[in-house]
Structure 1
Amino acid sequence: MIEQVFSYSTEDNTAVEKIIMDENINYIHMIFNKGEGLPEHYSNSNVYMTVIKGVLSIQLDEQEVHEYVRGAILKIPYNTKMNVKNLHDDVLELIVIKAPAPDHFNK
Protein backbone atom coordinates (compact mmCIF):
# COMPACT_ATOMS: atom_id res chain seq x y z
CA MET A 1 0.00 0.00 0.00
CA ILE A 2 1.56 3.28 -1.10
CA GLU A 3 -0.73 5.71 0.71
CA GLN A 4 -0.91 6.35 4.42
CA VAL A 5 -4.38 6.65 5.88
CA PHE A 6 -5.22 8.86 8.83
CA SER A 7 -8.48 9.47 10.67
CA TYR A 8 -9.92 12.02 13.06
CA SER A 9 -12.68 12.14 15.64
CA THR A 10 -16.24 12.62 14.45
CA GLU A 11 -17.58 13.31 17.95
CA ASP A 12 -18.32 16.76 19.42
CA ASN A 13 -16.02 16.27 22.42
CA THR A 14 -13.25 18.80 22.97
CA ALA A 15 -10.13 17.67 21.15
CA VAL A 16 -6.85 18.80 19.66
CA GLU A 17 -5.81 15.88 17.46
CA LYS A 18 -2.37 16.05 15.88
CA ILE A 19 -3.12 13.93 12.82
CA ILE A 20 0.02 14.47 10.71
CA MET A 21 3.16 15.96 12.22
CA ASP A 22 6.02 15.48 9.78
CA GLU A 23 8.79 17.49 8.14
CA ASN A 24 6.40 18.90 5.51
CA ILE A 25 3.25 19.93 7.37
CA ASN A 26 1.38 19.75 10.63
CA TYR A 27 -2.29 18.74 10.14
CA ILE A 28 -4.36 19.28 13.26
CA HIS A 29 -8.07 18.69 13.94
CA MET A 30 -9.61 20.80 16.71
CA ILE A 31 -13.00 20.73 18.42
CA PHE A 32 -14.03 23.35 21.00
CA ASN A 33 -17.26 23.76 22.92
CA LYS A 34 -18.56 27.15 24.07
CA GLY A 35 -15.98 29.10 26.08
CA GLU A 36 -13.07 26.91 25.00
CA GLY A 37 -10.15 27.63 22.70
CA LEU A 38 -6.38 27.86 22.56
CA PRO A 39 -4.12 29.82 24.88
CA GLU A 40 -2.95 33.07 23.31
CA HIS A 41 0.21 32.36 21.34
CA TYR A 42 2.26 33.36 18.30
CA SER A 43 1.96 31.28 15.14
CA ASN A 44 5.07 29.14 14.69
CA SER A 45 4.53 28.69 10.94
CA ASN A 46 2.19 29.85 8.21
CA VAL A 47 -1.22 28.71 9.45
CA TYR A 48 -4.14 27.71 7.24
CA MET A 49 -7.31 27.39 9.31
CA THR A 50 -10.55 25.91 7.90
CA VAL A 51 -13.82 26.29 9.79
CA ILE A 52 -15.66 22.96 9.43
CA LYS A 53 -18.49 23.64 11.89
CA GLY A 54 -19.63 26.47 14.16
CA VAL A 55 -18.30 30.03 14.47
CA LEU A 56 -14.62 30.83 14.97
CA SER A 57 -13.88 33.95 17.06
CA ILE A 58 -10.27 34.96 16.48
CA GLN A 59 -8.15 37.95 17.39
CA LEU A 60 -4.90 38.40 15.47
CA ASP A 61 -2.20 40.77 16.76
CA GLU A 62 -3.95 43.93 18.01
CA GLN A 63 -7.00 43.90 15.72
CA GLU A 64 -10.56 43.41 16.95
CA VAL A 65 -12.06 39.92 17.23
CA HIS A 66 -13.29 38.68 13.84
CA GLU A 67 -15.78 35.85 13.41
CA TYR A 68 -15.82 33.24 10.66
CA VAL A 69 -18.37 30.54 9.88
CA ARG A 70 -18.30 27.11 8.25
CA GLY A 71 -16.54 27.19 4.90
CA ALA A 72 -14.15 30.03 5.75
CA ILE A 73 -10.43 29.42 5.22
CA LEU A 74 -7.97 31.76 6.92
CA LYS A 75 -4.31 32.21 6.01
CA ILE A 76 -2.37 33.52 8.99
CA PRO A 77 1.28 34.53 8.57
CA TYR A 78 4.18 33.24 10.64
CA ASN A 79 4.77 34.98 13.99
CA THR A 80 1.25 36.45 14.32
CA LYS A 81 -0.26 36.71 17.80
CA MET A 82 -3.36 34.51 17.87
CA ASN A 83 -6.28 34.23 20.28
CA VAL A 84 -8.65 31.44 19.13
CA LYS A 85 -11.98 30.93 20.92
CA ASN A 86 -15.47 29.50 20.58
CA LEU A 87 -17.78 32.18 21.99
CA HIS A 88 -20.97 30.58 20.64
CA ASP A 89 -23.31 27.77 21.70
CA ASP A 90 -22.59 25.57 18.66
CA VAL A 91 -19.54 23.31 18.62
CA LEU A 92 -16.54 24.79 16.76
CA GLU A 93 -14.61 22.38 14.54
CA LEU A 94 -11.41 23.39 12.73
CA ILE A 95 -8.74 21.89 10.53
CA VAL A 96 -5.40 23.63 11.02
CA ILE A 97 -2.53 23.13 8.61
CA LYS A 98 0.92 24.53 9.37
CA ALA A 99 3.14 24.74 6.31
CA PRO A 100 6.00 24.48 6.21
CA ALA A 101 6.19 22.45 9.38
CA PRO A 102 7.29 24.64 12.32
CA ASP A 103 10.71 22.93 12.48
CA HIS A 104 11.53 24.75 9.23
CA PHE A 105 11.64 28.06 11.16
CA ASN A 106 13.85 26.66 13.93
CA LYS A 107 16.83 25.93 11.67
Structure 2
Amino acid sequence: MIEKLYHYSTEDETAVEKIIMDDNVHYIHMVFNKDKGLPEHFSNSNVYMTIIRGVLSIQLDDQDIHKYSKGDIIQIPYQTKMNVKNLHEEVLELIVIKAPAPPHYQAK
Protein backbone atom coordinates (compact mmCIF):
# COMPACT_ATOMS: atom_id res chain seq x y z
CA MET A 1 0.00 0.00 0.00
CA ILE A 2 1.48 3.34 -1.06
CA GLU A 3 -0.80 5.57 1.01
CA LYS A 4 -0.86 5.83 4.77
CA LEU A 5 -4.25 5.94 6.45
CA TYR A 6 -5.05 8.12 9.48
CA HIS A 7 -8.19 8.27 11.61
CA TYR A 8 -9.72 10.93 13.82
CA SER A 9 -12.53 10.85 16.36
CA THR A 10 -16.10 11.55 15.30
CA GLU A 11 -17.33 11.95 18.89
CA ASP A 12 -18.48 15.16 20.59
CA GLU A 13 -16.19 14.85 23.63
CA THR A 14 -13.43 17.43 24.08
CA ALA A 15 -10.27 16.12 22.41
CA VAL A 16 -6.97 17.23 20.92
CA GLU A 17 -5.78 14.52 18.55
CA LYS A 18 -2.33 14.82 17.04
CA ILE A 19 -3.01 12.94 13.81
CA ILE A 20 0.16 13.67 11.80
CA MET A 21 3.30 14.95 13.50
CA ASP A 22 6.14 14.58 11.02
CA ASP A 23 8.98 16.72 9.70
CA ASN A 24 6.75 18.36 7.09
CA VAL A 25 3.51 19.21 8.83
CA HIS A 26 1.57 18.90 12.06
CA TYR A 27 -2.10 18.00 11.49
CA ILE A 28 -4.26 18.20 14.60
CA HIS A 29 -7.97 17.51 15.10
CA MET A 30 -9.63 19.39 17.97
CA VAL A 31 -13.08 19.16 19.52
CA PHE A 32 -14.19 21.55 22.27
CA ASN A 33 -17.46 21.69 24.18
CA LYS A 34 -18.77 24.97 25.61
CA ASP A 35 -16.23 26.89 27.74
CA LYS A 36 -13.37 24.56 26.71
CA GLY A 37 -10.31 25.43 24.67
CA LEU A 38 -6.54 25.64 24.73
CA PRO A 39 -4.34 27.31 27.34
CA GLU A 40 -3.10 30.70 26.18
CA HIS A 41 0.13 30.19 24.22
CA PHE A 42 2.26 31.50 21.36
CA SER A 43 2.04 29.85 17.95
CA ASN A 44 5.14 27.76 17.28
CA SER A 45 4.70 27.78 13.48
CA ASN A 46 2.42 29.23 10.84
CA VAL A 47 -0.99 27.94 11.94
CA TYR A 48 -3.99 27.30 9.70
CA MET A 49 -7.32 26.63 11.44
CA THR A 50 -10.28 25.19 9.56
CA ILE A 51 -13.59 25.41 11.41
CA ILE A 52 -15.54 22.22 10.67
CA ARG A 53 -18.51 23.00 12.93
CA GLY A 54 -19.42 25.38 15.70
CA VAL A 55 -18.04 28.85 16.42
CA LEU A 56 -14.41 29.55 17.27
CA SER A 57 -13.79 32.47 19.64
CA ILE A 58 -10.15 33.48 19.36
CA GLN A 59 -8.09 36.33 20.74
CA LEU A 60 -4.77 36.98 19.02
CA ASP A 61 -2.13 39.17 20.66
CA ASP A 62 -4.00 42.22 22.05
CA GLN A 63 -6.95 42.14 19.64
CA ASP A 64 -10.54 41.77 20.78
CA ILE A 65 -12.04 38.29 20.51
CA HIS A 66 -12.98 37.43 16.91
CA LYS A 67 -15.51 34.74 16.00
CA TYR A 68 -15.25 32.34 13.07
CA SER A 69 -17.67 29.61 12.03
CA LYS A 70 -18.08 26.54 9.85
CA GLY A 71 -16.40 27.00 6.48
CA ASP A 72 -13.88 29.60 7.69
CA ILE A 73 -10.12 29.05 7.48
CA ILE A 74 -7.86 31.42 9.39
CA GLN A 75 -4.09 31.80 9.14
CA ILE A 76 -2.13 32.80 12.24
CA PRO A 77 1.52 33.87 11.92
CA TYR A 78 4.42 32.37 13.87
CA GLN A 79 4.90 33.70 17.44
CA THR A 80 1.37 35.12 17.77
CA LYS A 81 -0.22 34.95 21.23
CA MET A 82 -3.35 32.80 20.96
CA ASN A 83 -6.34 32.28 23.22
CA VAL A 84 -8.63 29.64 21.65
CA LYS A 85 -12.07 28.96 23.17
CA ASN A 86 -15.56 27.65 22.48
CA LEU A 87 -17.91 30.17 24.13
CA HIS A 88 -21.04 28.74 22.49
CA GLU A 89 -23.43 25.84 23.09
CA GLU A 90 -22.65 24.02 19.83
CA VAL A 91 -19.63 21.72 19.77
CA LEU A 92 -16.59 23.34 18.12
CA GLU A 93 -14.55 21.15 15.78
CA LEU A 94 -11.31 22.30 14.13
CA ILE A 95 -8.54 20.99 11.96
CA VAL A 96 -5.25 22.72 12.77
CA ILE A 97 -2.33 22.53 10.37
CA LYS A 98 1.11 23.80 11.35
CA ALA A 99 3.39 24.37 8.37
CA PRO A 100 6.23 24.12 8.25
CA ALA A 101 6.34 21.73 11.19
CA PRO A 102 7.48 23.54 14.38
CA PRO A 103 10.95 21.88 14.52
CA HIS A 104 11.89 24.01 11.47
CA TYR A 105 11.77 27.13 13.66
CA GLN A 106 14.58 28.01 16.05
CA ALA A 107 13.58 28.87 19.61
CA LYS A 108 13.76 32.59 20.33
Q: TM-score range by the shorter chain?
A: over 0.9
Contiguous gaps of at least 5 residues in structure 1: none
2:84 partner amino acid = V
- Does residue 87 of structure 2 align to residue 87 of structure 1? yes
- Does residue 38 of structure 2 align to residue 38 of structure 1? yes
User: RMSD of the TM alignment (CA)?
Assistant: 0.8
1:53 partner amino acid = R
Q: By how many angstroms is 1:79 displaced?
A: 0.3
Q: By how many angstroms is 1:90 displaced?
A: 0.3
- TM-score of the pair, normalised by structure 1: 0.98
2:102 partner amino acid = P
CA displacement 1:70-100 (0-9 Å, x = unmatched): 0000000000000000000000000000000
- Percent of aligned positions that are identical: 72
C-alpha distance in 1 between matches for 2:93 and 2:106? 29
Contiguous gaps of at least 5 residues in structure 2: none
CA displacement 1:7-60 (0-9 Å, x = unmatched): 100010110000000000000000000000000000000000000010000000
Spell out the pairing of 1:1-107 with structure 2 (5 A cutoff): 1-106=1-106
* Displacement over 3 Å in runs of 4+: none
